[in-house]
Structure 1
């Protein structure tokens, strides 16, 4: 249970056991989110493992993951709650069949609420608090951020027709952002904060070894080093861990045991995501061995 979690190292070990290698900084931020009951905002470039961290945290704590994927135009009815109009209409028809008439107060009750992710997290009745992932909050509008202030600060949601729902146990809230826009100061003040850097080549190799266990050792080492060099180039979309795993998987499927220029060129579709990036990365392949010219 989450209440038994007493050490940062213990959380790191649990996340390691579900396949997520976490460094001390991120493990500490997540540990505080669990123990202090405060939301944590994870920022970093796309592909560094922010979303995966929240998923792994839920697995490590053996609890439910509730996910809210943010996007432009996201509304309260999609994120917090909405009324079940079909059920209300059915109740009205049943009352009419009995010669009764329902008042608004009879129709706008908890019975007719449809829980969306945030209210679902507040009303969650499982044995452990859930992990609520509010993913890519920077994609939502400023107005939606304001809707979150009450929830982030007080673990509650106010519904005008009913009143305020407050979580009996605070959900573990993880927000992620790719910094496509600046977030409001009021949101940041309500959250713990951690920036996730792209890991060094040695750590990338450890992650790749876990994610692609069939890949040859020399391929993992050279692949991790090459991805690090590629990320230093002037790219539109620098490859993240997800792209590194996809790329190594593609090389492994082709039976490649050692990174060479022809093999890298054949699999660039997994690493470079724009035409310009493909040209730039192709130029970086010159340093790789080419058996055809040996």
Structure 2
């Protein structure tokens, strides 16, 4: 049976340790992170891009000393990239070297389907690790629906079946985080196996705490101006709204340039740090000027 891994002692312990690693978790996030470890259930984190979903998994790995194994999802992802594949070139060399010997085909077959020829991908890698592991399945909504079937065996029983080798079960269950930007609805089968957490952009006070914790040299007054401006930008119909990470980058930019006032010129000069589309920048400049 898999050995239980006490990732966090309590929700308060989760909040404190994540905060020490630079991730300010609200009560719902701290409770859900604690439960994911205590109940050994995967955690599905859903919300818009840039709200800290991926960073949560990274923070859990940092504070617990666990290795982070990441499966970056994308359209066209298949079993060979998610689970495992065989090293066909190496197998072919072994077959060729066995020709002209007394070794039978069945013996050669058994020889080439061993760990020596197995190329493990993120899902199988995380299952096989004996050390504490955080498995991040990032942007799962970008995959095809069929790929979710690959996840079900892992999420249900923390095991992977390899026809040539049998079933590989986790010795130590990983802490699993699946992230989704909600670009499509995930199957009920996947959701049923997970705890669920929805993350959204924080309110102004919370974002100010996050920014100042990451950029302690930022003046309090500038921090307030930055957070207010980012909030207004997120109200606009943009191709890509500013993420929390981009708020932090903007704060670091203002400190590096020794900007003491987030006035019109400062915004114009540094807006490319938070908005990465020319059309978004043009719209933002126009709207911000109208509101001044």
TM-score class, shorter: over 0.9
1:141 corresponds to 2:144 = yes
1:30 corresponds to 2:33 = yes
The partner residue of 2:46 within 43, 46, 66 is 43
Q: Which residue of 2 aligns with 1:292?
A: none
The partner residue of 1:178 within 172, 181, 193 is 181
1:118 corresponds to 2:123 = yes
1:270 corresponds to 2:273 = yes
Please report how far the alpha carbon of residue 229 of structure 1 lies from its aligned counterpart in structure 2 after TM superposition. Answer: 1.8
Please report how far the alpha carbon of residue 83 of structure 1 lies from its aligned counterpart in structure 2 after TM superposition. Answer: 0.8
Q: Which residue of 1 aligns with 2:113?
A: 108
Structure 2, gaps ≥5 residues long = none
Q: How does 1:15-164 map to 2 (within 5 A)?
A: 15-96=18-99, 98-101=101-104, 102-126=107-131, 129-164=132-167
Deviates more, 1:244-253 or 1:255-264: 244-253
| TM-score using structure 2 length | 0.92
Change in Cα spacing, 1:65 to 1:97, as seen in structure 2 (3 Å) is: farther
| TM-score using structure 1 length | 0.91
Q: Distance in 2 between matches of 1:254 and 1:150?
A: 51
1:79, 1:117 within 8 Å by CA — same for their partners in 2?
A: yes
Please report how far the alpha carbon of residue 190 of structure 1 lies from its aligned counterpart in structure 2 after TM superposition. Answer: 1.1
Q: Distance in 2 between matches of 1:189 and 1:76?
A: 22
1:223 corresponds to 2:226 = yes
Please report how far the alpha carbon of residue 151 of structure 1 lies from its aligned counterpart in structure 2 after TM superposition. Answer: 0.8
Q: Distance in 1 between matches of 2:134 and 2:28?
A: 19
Q: Distance in 1 between matches of 2:7 and 2:282?
A: 52
Please report how far the alpha carbon of residue 103 of structure 1 lies from its aligned counterpart in structure 2 after TM superposition. Answer: 3.2
Q: Distance in 1 between matches of 2:185 and 2:291?
A: 40
CA RMSD of aligned residues (A): 1.9
Change in Cα spacing, 1:4 to 1:265, as seen in structure 2 (3 Å) is: closer
The partner residue of 2:13 within 10, 13, 20 is 10
Q: Distance in 2 between matches of 1:255 and 1:247?
A: 12
Please report how far the alpha carbon of residue 94 of structure 1 lies from its aligned counterpart in structure 2 after TM superposition. Answer: 4.1
Structure 1, gaps ≥5 residues long = 290-294
Q: Distance in 2 between matches of 1:44 and 1:180?
A: 10
Change in Cα spacing, 1:2 to 1:162, as seen in structure 2 (3 Å) is: closer
Aligned length: 287
Please report how far the alpha carbon of residue 98 of structure 1 lies from its aligned counterpart in structure 2 after TM superposition. Answer: 5.0
Q: Which residue of 2 aligns with 1:209?
A: 212
Residue-by-residue CA offset, 1:149-172 (whole Å, 9 max, x unaligned): 111111011111221111012111
Change in Cα spacing, 1:211 to 1:97, as seen in structure 2 (3 Å) is: farther
Q: Distance in 2 between matches of 1:2 and 1:168?
A: 11
